[in-house]
Amino acid sequence: MDSGAEVTQSPPGGSTTYFDGASSKRRAVMLRLSDRLEIVEDGSALAAWAYDDIRGVDSPSGMLRLSCQTAPALARLEIRDTALAAELVSRCAKVNDNAPGRRGVAVIVGWSLAAAASIVAIVLFGLPLAADRLTPLVPETFERRLGDVADAQVKGLFNARVCDNPAGQAAFVKLVTAIRESAGLDTSVQSGVLSSSVPNAFALPGGKVYLFNGLLAKAENADEIAGVLAHELGHLKHRDNLRGLIRDSGTSFLIGLLFGDITGSSVLIFGSRTLVTSSHSREAEQNADGFAIDVMHRLGRPAKPTGELLLRVTGKEGKGLSIISSHPLSEDRLARMSREDRPASRPPLLTSAEWRSLKSICDAKL
């Protein structure tokens, strides 16, 4: 969409909410993106915010919350539609300049300095080093917002929806919860099965893990899938996905950091594509495999089945998929998972009925 064009958006389900800052009334509103942001209720404008006055406010995952410097201090706009949020943020050059506290200033200053130093580092040493240095400095709130925008783009890229057949979803939640708790990750991790026939799984910055139905279709038991999900959670825990995004979107990401255009759509479109198609370093992959093996041990379940699934999907070459690509060959990974395997000491993570439900999570059911 051209950034100069006038856009009127009314997301389905009234997903944009406005608080005028004077009363506590929630208003379901429509946004008109002209030369300013107009907040419209029942056809009449309640407020108009200049893009440069709009600032981001801390918000839960899955929502963009904004304030405006010229509006009452407590006026808030809450947007749940990721495409609309991305479109709006791309027009708000100062959305990340929200009057920070002392610590916030230190983080931002440190971050800008790191970005400047990193640009020099790119020239001297290439990008991987810069990405390694920068990743720990990126605030989690920003990482989550980045993940939300990438999320919408990835679904578009694969033309995929999140499968939500209730019985399958219940089984998936049970499986993911067991793994997440074992992995020591909190409930901000979101996950789902995507209706794509590609056999793959990946994680996005900010705590989203997706399993493609194509990989589920090739799996023979819950342990195989559990290890894959644990591997992706390992990438999340080590922030490998954010590091990869910084590395692959390169200088545009870093320059964006310096000038505040962090959520610039060009960076993200490029970034999201590489998030799914590119690979982590061999070391990152081995760490994620180690993490997965560890989680399976703690769950009292064998690690070897995951290696068997990977080998089944890729053959001995092991190419072309982000859960698999370029890194240790599937044969080597299976060998490691076999070597470090322990026999099951606890019952299966899913009953056989739950496993069948999970396998058919993308089937429509009335």
Side chain identity, residue 279 = S
- Is 122 or 334 the residue whose CB approaches Zn ion more closely? 334
Nearer to Zn ion, 96 or 287 (CB): 287
Indicate the residue among 82 and 272 with the shorter CB distance to Zn ion.
Answer: 272
Looking up tokens 């080597």 gives: 332
- Provide the minimum distance between the beta carbon of 327 and Zn ion in the complex, in angstroms, as a whole number: 7
Cβ distance 328 to 285 under 8 Å? Answer: yes
The C-alpha atoms of residue 245 and residue 272 are separated, in whole angstroms, by: 8
Taking the least distance from each CB to Zn ion, the nearer of 288 and 293 is 288
Q: For Zn ion, which stretch binds (CB under 5 A), given 20-28, 185-193, 254-262, 280-288? A: 280-288
Candidates 75-83, 137-145, 287-295, 296-304 — which segment interacts with Zn ion by CB under 5 A? 287-295
* 256 vs 305 by CB, closer to Zn ion: 305
CA 341 to CA 260: how far, in whole Å?
A: 47
For Zn ion, the closer of residues 285 and 354 by Cβ is 285
Cα(47)–Cα(228) distance, integer angstroms: 48
Cα–Cα distance between 109 and 257 in angstroms, integer? 11
Question: Three-state SS for 17?
Answer: strand
- Amino acid type, 115: A
Q: Which of 75, 131, 201, 288 binds Zn ion (CB under 5 A)?
A: 288
114 binds Zn ion (CB under 5 A): no
Amino acid at 131: A
Residue 71 or 204: the one with the smaller Cβ distance to Zn ion is 204
Instruction: Tell me how far apart the alpha carbons of residues 207 and 24 are, in angstroms, rounded to a whole number.
Output: 31
| H helix or E strand, kind and range, residue 172 | helix 166-183
Stretch that binds Zn ion, among 68-76, 243-251, 286-294, 354-362 (CB under 5 A): 286-294
Q: Could you say whether residue 215 binds Zn ion (CB under 5 A)?
A: no
Cβ at position 295, least distance to Zn ion in Å: 14
* Span of 1-9, 247-255, 279-287, 311-319 interacting with Zn ion by CB under 5 A: 279-287
Is the CB of residue 209 less than 8 Å from the CB of residue 236? Answer: yes
> Binding mask 238-277 vs Zn ion (x if CB under 5 A, - otherwise)?
----------------------------------------
Total chain residues near Zn ion (CB under 5 A)? 2
Q: Are 341 and 314 in contact (CB under 8 A)?
A: no
Instruction: Report residue 111: phi and psi, to 5°.
Output: -65, -45
Chain residues that interact with Zn ion, rule: CB under 5 A: 285, 288
